[in-house]
Every structure is written in structure tokens, then in C-alpha cells.
Structure 1
Amino acid sequence: MIIDAHTHVWPDHVAARALGGSGLDDLPRFGDGTAGSLVEVMDAAGVDRSVVLAVANTAERVESANTFTGSLDPDRFIGFGSAHARSDPDELVASLRRHGLRGVKVHPLFQDYALDDPGLLRVLDALRGEFAAIVHVGSAGDPEKAARCTPTMIVEVARQLPGLDLIACHFGGYRVIEEAAEVVVGTPGLYLDTSWPPSLATLDPDLVAGLVRRHGPDRVIFASDWPMADPAAEIEAVRALGLEEDETDAILGGNLARILSLE
């Protein structure tokens, strides 16, 4: 089974506006951000299931974001809700349970707080043992915003919250791969996702394979960041790393299936 751990979908009537306001205008698009478009891309790429990540820019919008991701077809999609540093931890946990969600997405660049915000740490603490958290780490072209989610910060979150299934996006440092390689790779209790839009193939495959080896193939998770990348191309980029077949299979789906206890 191939599972894409990092995709974004919006309701059909707002997808175009949401995608246009993502702030990542330098990246191509490989779909229109709707569930129907993602299913077509998944079928073409051979992806069995995709994790759909909700991102609410305010705490007040978390419930509506969670309602939407929880409404998607569970045979194809694995819903992750949104978490915000201003969320009430108990209310968030109740929302995740109510909508059948398996985890949360944290995106400080868009949510206007930092990874070391005490409110966020309280929220993530409430998730331990039941829900996973996937967290954006690294830059998006704005140095001031990038300071909200540095590689050092995600390592500190992992240190403070042992037992949390914590996944660092973009190998732990989007557009700062050298810093991620020095600071994040090898951190105990931390999983890394492979997303690197517009493609993992833009990185040196020997560098990437070395990062995977150092961190451990059992703690690396396939992710595309659709619609900012093409899952088919990203699968091929993972297969091109020259890892053992069982390691590649684990990255493409087995590791996340284990973390989320998927059949």
C-alpha cells in the first residue's frame, strides 16, 4: 500500500481562492485543490490513500476545518485536523474524536505563531498517545516567518514531548536542508516526511539517501505536498534513492500504516 502523508484539499467552492492565497506563487500546481482532483492524481500515481491536512489560520476556524476533513471518503483519505496555539486542548481532542481524525497539522507560517509557543506545546501534549502531529518546518521565502519554525525548534518540541507521534515536514527544514541535516536528522522520537515541492528530485539523491540512512528508513514517511508536487514523480524520486526494497516499501506506506495502526 502506498500512502501519501501530506496533501491539501479544500471544499470545491473555495479551493481556487485558498490555493491562490497560499503564498507559494513560485511553485507549480498539479491539481486544483479539490478532493475529486486529488483522487484522479492518486489513481494515476498508484497511491492507495492520502492524508488530507487541515490548516485553520485562527483557532476559531479549527472546528470548521476539522468538519471538512472528517467528511471526506475514508476509503481514500485519512483526515488530519488543524491545531492552533490558541486552541483549547480538551476541545481540540473532542473535535478530533468527533470527526474521526487521526492527527493534526501545524503550520506556523500561516497560523502566525512560533513552534515554541507555550499554547502550542499544551495542545500537542494533549495529543500524546492518541493522535499524530505533522509540523511544517523551514522557510517559504520570508526570513521573519521562517524564524517561527526552525529545525532547532522542532527538535526541542520532540525533546519536550516524548511519546508524541511527531512528523517534521520537508526532512525537518524546507529550503534549509543543510541545517536540517545537522540539527534534525537522527533526533530520537521524530519522524521525517519526504515532501520537497516542487519535487524531491531537485535535491541530490545521494544527499537524500544519506539523510534517510542516518535517520533510519523506519522513521521516514513518503509525502508529496500535493497540489504543490506530483505524487507520481515523488514516488519515482523515492524509488531512485537506491534503498533496499523493504526500506522503500516502508517509506512509501508501511511506516505511516504502523504509526496510525492502519490495516
Structure 2
Amino acid sequence: MIVDSHQHLWTADYGWLADPALARIRRDYGVEDLRRNLRAARVDRTVLVEAGRGEAAETTEFLATAADTEEIAGVVGWASLTDPALAETLAGHRAGPGGHLLVGIRDQVQGHPDDDYLDRPELRAGLRTIADAGLVNELVVRVGQLPAVARAAADLPDARFVLDHLGKPRITAGAAGLDQWRSLVAPVAARPNVVAKLSGLVTEADPTGWTVDDLRPFVAGAVELFGPDRLMFGSDWPVCELAATYTQVRDALEQILGGTPDAIFATTAISTYKLEIE
């Protein structure tokens, strides 16, 4: 069993895709595209993650899609962490089609310029609401926001946090990027309630000329700091197509790890998201 903890679906009209640099992935990506890539990469189940539309309707649609798609074992939906009606929003999603497949919530924290954004009281309240609902707090942040992630995880020790893309290290900066990332991610890894994704690395590297060796020290550092039981494989498809195919992403990680460790490629995702997989 191979579980991909991080993939997306979207349509070409998503606003953020208007960036000329994203022309390569500015098209509709649907379930049949996903299935074709899963077969090629020998992946069995996935977690579908919100794709930056920033609307509750996207979560509603994704849950309904997951309910009709055996390969999708869970959905990380979008919700604003500052929504005063967040608890009611979550309850509404759970009451709809596929609501039982809602496993986490992600807001676009990386889009806020403040490195300390997660320290704001209203943000902490949102994180607490998600945790109280039994859902994962999924965090997509810039590397400079990692200290705030560590503080949030320490403040909410009973909450489950997932760090996307290892906190987006500056892989193109080489040794300097590695040193910066290690110093900032170590306090995050020290929190036992944080799980990290080995995802999104090919696009943090040079998308036109990355190599496995570019990724290797970051993956090795993650294994050292988090351990396999708190790491998950994620393709970040179709974003990854800016730099690599789905299969190339899986193969690169398998090459670095010397195989497909069960924790990283399945059981950590299953336990973190409480996926019901037969």
C-alpha cells in the first residue's frame, strides 16, 4: 500500500494560475488525470488538499468528489482560520456529501507577509477550533514562518499539525539554504505533535535543472530530525509538473530513501489523518 499524502485537483480558471510562470499547469486536472498518474507511479490512495481557491465551495466539491473516488481516502479542505463561524463551517462540511472524509483544514498562511502571523490570538483560536473538531491543522508556510509554527505546536500540544513541503526550504540556496532550514525546522521537529511532508521539494529546487542530490540533504535532514514515523510522502501533483512528473517525484524520493519505508509511504499518513483504508 502506497499513500500519497498531498495531491490537488483544479480547473484552469483558478486565479493564482494566471501567473505566466504557471502556464504549464494552467489547465483542468480531474479525477481521470489523477488515476492515470497513480497507475503510472504505483500509488494506491491519496489525500486531496485544497488548491488555493480560498472558497468554502471548493471544500464542498472536493468532499463530494472524494465520496465518488475510491482512490481519494481523505480531504484537507480550506477554511479561514479567522472565520468567527469556523466551528459551524466545519460542521456544515461534515454534514454534506463525503463529510466523513474531511480529515484536516488548511489556510494559506504562506500568503501573509508577517512571519509571526500564527502568533496572533485570532489565529490561535482558529487552530484550536480545528483541533477541537478532531481535525488536522495543515500548515503551508514559508521557511521564515517556521518559528511561529513551533510556538503554535507548543501552545496546542493536544492538536495535530502537518507541515507541508518541509516548510519550503530554499533549496536553490545550497548550503546556506540547508543551514537556515535546519536551524528553523529543528524546533518544529522537537514538537511530537507535528508531522512533516516530504513533498513540494522539486519546485523549491531549480525546476528546470534539479537533481536528486539537490534534494538529498533536505530529505536526510528531515529523517534525522522527525524520524520516519513523523514523515509522509507527498507528490504535490500537479504542482510538481512545473519540474517533474508524478512518477519522477516518487522515484526520486525512493532513490534517496533506498526504498519505500512503510511509515513514510503509508502508515504515517493513515494514522495522522485517521484514514479508513481496507
TM over 0.5: yes
Structure 2 unaligned regions, length at least 5: 171-176, 206-211
Alignment length (residue pairs): 245
CA distance 1:110–1:204, shift in 2 (3 Å): closer
Q: Equivalent residue for 1:260?
A: 273
The answer to whether 1:137 aligns with 2:141 is yes
The answer to whether 1:187 aligns with 2:213 is no
Percent identity at matched positions? Answer: 23
> Which of 36-45 and 196-205 deviates more?
196-205
1:42 to 28, 38, 41: 38
CA distance 1:115–1:239, shift in 2 (3 Å): same
List 4+ stretches of structure 1 deviating above 6 A.
none
Structure 1 unaligned regions, length at least 5: 140-146
Residue pairs, 1:210-249, within 5 angstroms = 210-229=221-240, 230-242=245-257, 248-249=261-262
Residue 169 of structure 1 deviates from its aligned partner by 1.0
8 Å CA contact 1:137, 1:172 repeated in 2: yes
The residue type paired with residue 135 of structure 1 is L
SS of structure 2 residue aligned to 1:17: coil
> Which of 192-201 and 68-77 deviates more?
192-201
1:205 to 216, 234, 238: 216
User: Over residues 210-252 of structure 1, what are the superposed CA-to-partner deviations in whole Å (9 max), with x where a residue is unaligned?
Assistant: 3212221110111121111133222212212245x6x722101
The two structures, once aligned, show a CA RMSD in angstroms of 2.9
Residue 177 of structure 1 deviates from its aligned partner by 4.6
8 Å CA contact 2:131, 2:137 repeated in 1: no
Residue 133 of structure 1 deviates from its aligned partner by 2.1
Residue pairs, 1:137-156, within 5 angstroms = 137-138=141-142, 150-156=145-151
> Which of 196-205 and 78-87 deviates more?
196-205
1:66 to 59, 74, 87: 59
Residue 71 of structure 1 deviates from its aligned partner by 0.8
